[in-house]
Amino acid sequence: MALTLHALTLLAEHLPGKRVLSFGYPDLVARGEDIERLFGVRPTRFTDFGRWHGVDHPLPETLELFEAIGARLECVDIHRSRGIERVVDLNHPCALGAFDLVIDAGTIEHCFNIAQAILNAAQAVAPGGHVFHAPPMTMLNHGFYNLNPTLFHDFYVQNGWTIERLVGGTQEGKFKVHPTGRFAAPPGAVLYCLARRERAGPLVFPTQTKYLDHPDLA
């Protein structure tokens, strides 16, 4: 899993000093100067995992950054690929704890039971905290699913959360998306969603907005 420069820019103010849960170990797909510009920290440790993410430069080491900005990082995954992950299967209900920020930087689309994976992410957010998703929108066979903005808009809004950012992104930059209406997206696009949990309480499955607006279509 990876946090691109677009994702890091969206998360920069939400990471320092926070309790963070990540679905998978979040590689930082950025250069050292990008990290220094965003966080005021100059990386000294790098990895060669960029080859997994289609880049040919060393990646700043995630744990070094998080420690430098006072963020406490926990990771869950189906395997201990980096040796620090707590092994869980997100296809099933999981008691993950309570965190200020939950990061899903490209995991839930690989879970067959994706609705449960999203519930697991949301339930792990403490009131006042945030969840961040970065799934594919138009990457065929990247995972089981490509996701639409209406999924996150409907789920979080109908559960009383506030969506703070909902945008698309490619290597060329970010672009606007309609939260519930039809629109065209370029190939290889990712969807970025940042939502804030306003209160504790049970989570419910949403109804798609277009059917709420036009029940005669059901």
pLDDT tens, 101-124?
999 999 999 999 999 999 999 999
Is the pTM of the predicted complex or chain greater than 0.85?
yes
Which residues, in sequence order, are bridge partners of residue 15?
Answer: none
**How many angstroms separate the CA atoms of 132 and 26, rounded?**
12
Band of residue 217 on the pLDDT scale cut at 50, 70, 90: low
176 φ, ψ (degrees, to nearest 5): -75, 145
Q: Which of 39-52 are b and which e, b meaning 16 or more Cβ less than 10 Å from the residue's Cβ?
A: bebebeebeebbee
Q: What is the pLDDT of residue 218?
A: 57
Question: Hey, what CATH topology would domain 2-217 get?
Answer: Rossmann fold (3.40.50)
Query: Domain-by-domain residue ranges, the chain?
Result: 2-217
- State pLDDT tens for residues 75-88: 999 999 888 999 99
Across the range 122-140, mean pLDDT stands at 98
Q: What is the average pLDDT across 30-56?
A: 90
Residue 49: the pLDDT is 85
Residue 1 CA from chain centroid, whole number: 9
**Integer Cα distance of 178 and 166 in angstroms:** 9
